[in-house]
Structure 1
Amino acid sequence: MNIYGSTISLLEQGLNFSSTKGKAISQNIANIDTPNYKAKNVSFKDTLHTVQQNSITAYQTNDLHINFKSKSSQPGVSNYSNFRYRQDGNGVDMDKEQADLAANQIYYNALIDRLNGKFGTLQNVIKGGR
């Protein structure tokens, strides 16, 4: 019996995604003055699209079984390969990176607040409602 449910697992995956996105943004900001550096991005939508295209179908023993596709994948980091923001070939837009950093921080804080709420509920149950 899983007392936590799937919510905590989903929140963990969301935190992993946010952490990966934060690392990509940090690398972009750190390389703002590096010539020919291509900005990196982590996109859930792009990762999901890639997984859907490369997935395999399951073996069905009956025509009434639901056809599903499955493939494990971690969020991927992609480069803006054809994008040049400055003359030296650098593809980092500092305004965009700061906006992405703020949005990612809000997303991360929301996940942490929700996780704290789940643990608070579990703590309340353990204490017997006192």
Structure 2
Amino acid sequence: MELFGGTFQKLENSLNYASAKNRTISNNIANVDTPNYKSKDVAFKNVLNEALNTSFETKRTHPKHISFNNVNTNQSFQTITNRNSMYNHNGNNVDIDKEMSDLAKNQIYYRSLVDRMNGKFSSLQTVIRGGR
């Protein structure tokens, strides 16, 4: 039985994503002058896999073939490295303007998640107190 209908788990996963994205952006900003540093980003990795796994079963024609049903879905995001571009003469590809913009967007996203979670707790507190 799920007491809260999965809302808190989804909010927690979203907060984990926002925290990982914030760490990655901060790391990119800190390494803006590091030679040959390649910027990183946080992206969802298993969203498509989860959708595909629920819609069809893969056929294994040999026992050594990997089953897609055993994919680890505990974490729905991963950090990826952008190796396709170079903005500076020293091999660094961090665009400080983009990183600062992404940081601001991520902070707004994180704060909205925290506000939503606080609202959920406030609603629970009201119910526990009997509507007062």
TM-score range, shorter chain: 0.7 to 0.9
Q: TM-score, normalised by structure 1?
A: 0.81
| Superposition misfits of 4+ residues, deviation over 4 angstroms | 52-59
- Structure 1 residues not aligned, in runs of 5+: 60-68
Matches within 5 A, 1:76-87: 76-87=78-89
Shift in alpha-carbon separation, 1:73–1:4, aligned structure 2, 3 A: closer
Corresponding residue SS for 1:43: strand
**2:90 and 2:41 mapped to 1: Cα distance?**
20
* Alignment partner, residue 11 of structure 2: 11
CA contact (8 A) 1:22 1:101 kept: yes
Amino acid in structure 2 at the alignment position of 1:6:
G
**2:110 and 2:117 mapped to 1: Cα distance?**
11
CA contact (8 A) 1:58 1:70 kept: no
Q: How many percent of aligned residue pairs carry the same amino acid?
A: 47
Corresponding residue SS for 2:92: coil
**1:118 and 1:49 mapped to 2: Cα distance?**
26
* Alignment partner, residue 128 of structure 1: 130
Matches within 5 A, 1:109-120: 109-120=111-122
* Alignment partner, residue 49 of structure 2: 51
Q: TM-score, normalised by structure 2?
A: 0.80
* Alignment partner, residue 27 of structure 2: 27
**2:12 and 2:85 mapped to 1: Cα distance?**
32
- Structure 2 residues not aligned, in runs of 5+: 59-68
Query: What's the CA shift for 1:76?
Result: 0.5
Superposition RMSD on alpha carbons, in Å? 2.5
